[in-house]
Structure 1
Amino acid sequence: MNIIEELEKEQLGKLSAEKNIPDFGAGDTIRVQVKVVEGTRERLQAFEGVCIARKNAGLNSAFTVRKISSGEGVERVFPLHSPNVAAIEVIRRGDVRRAKLYYLRGRTGKSARIREQTDGNKAKLNAADKAVAASIKADREAASKAKKAAAAEAKGE
């Protein structure tokens, strides 16, 4: 490993520790909070759309988001580890079979829609979502056992 790769790996470790980047891919609808500086003021601006591409290249990783604004398609490429990207939020998971969705550029209206993933296994749930799902499942099982025990007790009397 050469010096540049070592430095890049070190920087990537620092950035990953301080920034929470969700697991997302092409087809997912995401909201990106971008820092905008106007004169002396700084504010956050949301850019919400479909992620049509993701480039994984270490520090140079980037993703492309496409949205329709006033009937016109707008695409924006965001560097993943940029200090101007304040936050990334996944709104919904898309069910696609391609890594790059450039074909959406030529489509409008209903033909540009993407199916939503509904299967929990495919949806790439993050650790927090898995924990919540596990606690809900445990609560349901406990309620089911209590109901069965009450029914058995009622029959026994």
Structure 2
Amino acid sequence: MEALVKYVQDEFISKNEFPAFGAGDTITVYYEIKEGNKTRTQFFRGVVLQTRGTGSTRTFTIRKMSGSVGVERIFPMNLPALQKIEVNKKGKVRRSRIFYFRGLTGKKARIKEQMKR
């Protein structure tokens, strides 16, 4: 049964091609919003806290600061409304899920940028 589900997901669900990113990276996600009969593009720029899942169930969590309030959003990778993802900065972190980032404020909340090789 599991093989059948995987086959259907691979064959019939469209895959979006996005750049590789991981926890600690600062990315900008452009997605489409429908309001009535109008559509517009909105972006969400923040730090990736985690990526989870595989295949068509893959999701990633982004956190940004809006004023002094932290806002998190979970995006599925195969969301049809996703238009593009830009990687702004590659962050250097030691964990794949950086939930400790939620409790940091001020200068401690900065993530070092990874040096390009």
TM-score category, normalised to shorter length: over 0.9
Deviations 1:41-99 (CA, angstroms, capped at 9, x unpaired): 10110100000100132101000000000110000000011001111110010001100
| Structure 1 SS opposite 2:11 | helix
Specify which of 47, 52, 68 is matched with residue 49 of structure 2: 52
Q: How far apart are the structure 1 equivalents of 2:71 and 2:5?
A: 35
| Structure 2 SS opposite 1:2 | helix
| Structure 1 SS opposite 2:85 | strand
Partner in structure 2 of residue 32 of structure 1:
29
CA RMSD in angstroms comes to 1.3
Shift of 1:2: 2.4
Give the TM-score taking structure 2 as reference length. 0.93
Q: Which has the higher contact order (CA 8 A, sep 6+)?
A: 2
Q: How far apart are the structure 1 equivalents of 2:10 and 2:30?
A: 25
Length, aligned pairs only? 116
% identical aligned pairs: 41
Structure 1 alignment gaps of length 5 or more: 121-157
Q: How far apart are the structure 2 equivalents of 1:86 and 1:66?
A: 19
